[in-house]
Amino acid sequence: MCFEPGPGLIGLPVGDKPGRGGEFRAQRDGFGGLLGRRGRLRGIGLTGRLIVATAASGRHQCRRKNQDECSGGHIRTESIPIPSMNPGSPTPDLTGDLQKAVVDSVLAGVWCETPTVRARLRPLSARGEHRCSRSRFGGTRMTGRNGGLSVTTTTTQWRGCSRSALVAFGLAGTGLLSSAALSGPITAQRPTAAPIAGLTADELDRFFVGREAFARDLTIEQGLGPIFNQTACGDCHITPLGGTGTTKVLRAGRQTKDGFDPLEEFGGSLFQLESISPECAEDPPPQANVFTDRVTNGMTGYGLVEAILDSDIQAVLDAQDMSIRGDAHMVGSFEDEVMRVGRFGWKAQVATLLTFSADAGLQEMGLTNRFLTEDNDPNGIDPPSLGDPDFCDTVPDPEDSIAMGNGVDREFIDVVTDFQRFMTQPPQTPKSGMTGELLFNSIGCADCHTKTWTTPNDPSLETALRNKTIQPYGDFLLHKMGANSDGIPQGDALASQIKTAPLWDLRHRISIWHDGRFESGGFDVIVGQAIAAHDDGVNLSQGRFAAQAYATLPAGAQQSVLDFLRSLGQLEFDPNNDDTVTLLDFANAGNPDTFRSCYLSMPSPDDSCAIHDVDQDGLVDQATDFATFLTVYTGQLSDCNQNGVLDMIDILDGTAADADDNGIIDTCEPTCFGDVDGDGMVGINEFMQVLADWGPCPRLPAPCESDYNRDGIVGINDLLIALSRWGPCQ
C-alpha cells in the first residue's frame, strides 16, 4: 500500500445516526486542507471504521522497499478504528464533544491491532513538499518543511505508541489525547477462582449454583457428621473460595518393622476432629505412632487439570532425568473402573473431580453419597457405635440429595463439582514471565514444576475446556522428598513421596508444604524456607539438587526467583492485591504502583509497574493498557466536570488536577470529605443522601455523591464514613 499526504484531515458527521451509511460533510481543518473534495465519506459508528482521505496539495514522493513509488496529489484511503470509550455501552450520538474526540482519536494515532499494513496520521504545518524518513516504529514517515499531513505506514504491530511517543514528535500538550484515543482493549486475565471464559449460559449458571453450595454450611439435618473436620467445603478451601487454605487435618498410623499400618479397623489414617455430639467424638487410637498434618490442598483451574491427557503426563515423566524422575500414581475413580493418572491430593491419590467431591464430602463433612453410602464409624471397632440409635448420625443415607434442598434436583457432589470444573486458571502477571523464571529454570526447578500443558481438543469436553494452554508449574507426579516427606503411604504412593505441588496462584498461599509448616514471616520467608526444605539433608530428596543450586545464588538472584514466584496469582491492574480492580488501583497516595503512578513509565517485566503493562510492550499507555483497565474496573466511571472525557483520563492527561492522588478531580471534591451538599458540615442531609443512593451506583455520567470509598456501591461502609465525619468541616 502506498500513501501520499495532502493537507486535509477529517470531516465531521452530519445528522444523529452514526452507524453505517451516515453522511459526512467537508470541512476545513486546522491545517489548511479540505476533506471530502470527491464527495461523501462512508459512515462511522463507535465500533466501526472511519475512512480518511486528504485533498491534493504539494509534491510528494516516497519510495519504500517492496512497495511502488508514490507521486501525485492524493492519499489513498486507509481505515482507522474508532474504539469504544466504555466497552459494552450503547453507541452514543457522534455529535458535540464526541465529534472532537473522533478527530482527536485520529490525530493521536489510533491504530489496528492486527499485524497488517496500517497508517498513522499526524498534523504538521500548512502545506508544501514532503520528504521520506525512517519512523522509529518500523515504518516510513513523510514530513514537510511547510506543511501537510504526515502519514506513517508499517507492517509491524504497533502497540503503546501513546503519549510518550507523541512527546518525541512534539504533540504532547496539544490536547490530542482524549478518551477516544483508546485503541481498544485486549483480553485481561480473570481473577483466581473466577469462571473460565467461554462457558455457555447453562454452564455459567451451574458454576454459580455450585459456588453457593461449596460455600454453604451443612447442618446435622442435611447429613453433617457424625464426625467431620469442617461444615462447608469453603471452610477449608478459602484462599480464595475454591482454592487453598490453612486448615490442617490429622493423619496417623502405626509403623512397624513389617511396614505401615493405616489402622483401618480404628477408622483409618484420616481422623476427624469434630463431631455432632461429644458422645460421637473420635480420638486417634493409642496404637498410632506416626502422626502428620496435611494442610488444605487446592490450586483452582481443576477442570483444566482434569482434562490433561495421561499420555502427556507420562511423556513428561519419560523425559525427566533418572535422578529426579517421578512416578505416575495410577488410580481408579468412583464413576468408572478406568485407571488414570492421579493429579489431585498430596499423594496424587485422586484422578477426577467427582471422585474428589464424593470422597472429601464424606471424609471431611460426613456427607454420604451414591458412591460412599455409609458414614464413617467413630473410632471404628472401638465405641461409640454408628448403629447406636441414641446418638450419632440418624439421617437416612445417602445424604447428599438432602444437602441440596430448595427443590434442586441434583446431588450435592455433582453441584460442587461443577464449580470446580468450570473454574479458570489463576492469573500470572507479567504473563510472559520475569528474570526470576530464567533462574528458576536454570537451577532445575522447572524439571519437576513443569510450566505448560495443553488440554486436548476432545469433543467430549466442554468447549471452554478444549485445547486450552495452561501454566500450572507442576508435573502431577510423585517425587521422593526424603526426611521431609509425611511418612504416610497412600495407595501406591510411598511414605517418602509427595506430589509436586503446582505453583500457580502461589501468592495466595499462607501455609506452604504438605503439612503447612511454613506459615510465618511473609511470602519471601515461607517460600524461601520451602525451597530449602527440598534438600532434606540426608540426600534422599529428589529436590535437593535444585535446592542446593538455589542456595548458591547471590542474594539478588534469589530475590528475583522469589519475585517471579510472587507473580503466580497476581491479577493485572491490582497493585493492592485484593483481586478486584477499583479506584484504589487507579490512584492512591499510599501506593506507588497504581495505574496513575505508573502511567507513561516504561517498565521491564521485573518492575512493579509491569502489572499495568498488559500488552507487555514496555510502555504503560492509554491506547491499550488503560483501555483494558476499564474492561475490568469495578468502580464508578464518572465525568464530574462534564467535559465529555472520563475523569480518570483527565487526571492521566493532566487536564484536571488531583493533588491528593485519590482518583477524584480536585474541583469535584466536596467542601470537606463527606460534605455532599456543600454546607460546611456532615450531618443529617449526608445521612439521608446515603440512604437515597443505597445500592449499586451508575457508572456514568457522574458518581454517586455518597459513594465515599468509590467502590461503586453505596452501602454500610459509606454510612460509617459519613458518621465518622459527623459535624462541622475542619
DSSP 337-354: ---EE--BSTT--B--HH
Task: Using a pLDDT cut of 90, give the percent of the chain over it.
Answer: 58
Mean pLDDT (whole number) for 453-479: 98
| pLDDT at residue number 669 | 78
Reply yes or no on whether the pLDDT at 107 is more than 80.
Answer: no
CA distance readout (Å), 205 to 209, 211, 305, 415, 443? 6, 10, 21, 11, 44
| pLDDT at residue number 711 | 79
| pLDDT at residue number 391 | 67
Whether the Cβ atoms of residue 250 and residue 459 lie closer than 8 Å to each other: no
Reply yes or no on whether the pLDDT at 102 is more than 70.
Answer: no
Confidence of residue 686 (pLDDT cuts 50, 70, 90): confident
Confidence of residue 6 (pLDDT cuts 50, 70, 90): very low
Reply yes or no on whether the pLDDT at 154 is more than 90.
Answer: no
Reply yes or no on whether the pLDDT at 541 is more than 80.
Answer: yes
Separation of alpha carbons 134 and 252, rounded Å: 73
| pLDDT at residue number 699 | 55
Residues with Cβ within 8 Å of residue 643, at least 6 apart in sequence: 97, 650, 655
Tell me the three cell numbers of residue 193.
477462582
Amino acid occupying residue 5: P
Confidence of residue 177 (pLDDT cuts 50, 70, 90): very low
Reply yes or no on whether the pLDDT at 95 is more than 60.
Answer: no
What secondary structure letter does DSSP report for 428?
Answer: B
Residues with Cβ within 8 Å of residue 730, at least 6 apart in sequence: 672
Mean pLDDT (whole number) for 304-323: 98
Matching residue, cell 511418612: 487
Of 286-295, 390-399, 493-502, the one with minimum mean pLDDT is 390-399
Mean pLDDT (whole number) for 548-552: 98
Of 112-126, 184-198, 259-273, 391-405, the one with minimum mean pLDDT is 112-126
Phi, psi at residue 420, to the nearest 5°?
Answer: -70, -40
Separation of alpha carbons 58 and 129, rounded Å: 5
Reply yes or no on whether the pLDDT at 589 is more than 70.
Answer: yes
| pLDDT at residue number 383 | 82
Reply yes or no on whether the pLDDT at 82 is more than 50.
Answer: no
| pLDDT at residue number 406 | 62
Mean pLDDT (whole number) for 9-22: 31
3-state class (DSSP) for residue 525: helix
Reply yes or no on whether the pLDDT at 557 is more than 90.
Answer: yes
| Backbone dihedral region for residue 17 (phi beyond 0: left; psi -120 to 50: alpha; all else: beta) | beta
The pTM assigned to this predicted structure is 0.71
Q: Which of 530, 501, 511, 515 is nearest to 343 (CA)?
A: 501
Whether the Cβ atoms of residue 453 and residue 469 lie closer than 8 Å to each other: yes
Angle (CA) 518-524-529 rounded to 5° is: 40
Confidence of residue 392 (pLDDT cuts 50, 70, 90): confident
Reply yes or no on whether the pLDDT at 29 is more than 90.
Answer: no
Angle (CA) 510-511-514 rounded to 5° is: 150
Look at 249 and 114; give whichever has higher pLDDT: 249
Mean pLDDT (whole number) for 66-90: 32
Of 173-182, 203-212, 343-352, the one with minimum mean pLDDT is 173-182
Tell me the three cell numbers of residue 554.
547471590
Average pLDDT score, the chain: 78
Continuous H helices in 336-478: 353-365, 400-404, 412-421, 435-442
Domain boundaries, the chain: 12-181, 201-424, 670-730
Of 180-194, 218-232, 716-730, the one with minimum mean pLDDT is 180-194
Confidence of residue 32 (pLDDT cuts 50, 70, 90): very low
CA distance readout (Å), 99 to 16, 53, 237, 274, 644? 11, 17, 52, 67, 10
CATH fold group of domain 670-730: Type 1 dockerin domain (1.10.1330)
For 203-295, strand residue ranges (E) read 227-228, 248-256, 259-261, 270-271, 274-275, 290-295
Q: Which of 242, 218, 220 is nearest to 230 (CA)?
A: 218
Confidence of residue 618 (pLDDT cuts 50, 70, 90): very high
pLDDT in tens, 629-640: 999 999 888 898
Mean pLDDT (whole number) for 299-306: 95
| pLDDT at residue number 439 | 98
State the maximum Cα–Cα separation within the chain, in Å, rounded to a whole number: 102
| pLDDT at residue number 463 | 98
Q: Which of 566, 561, 541 is nearest to 551 (CA)?
A: 561
Confidence of residue 120 (pLDDT cuts 50, 70, 90): very low
Confidence of residue 145 (pLDDT cuts 50, 70, 90): very low
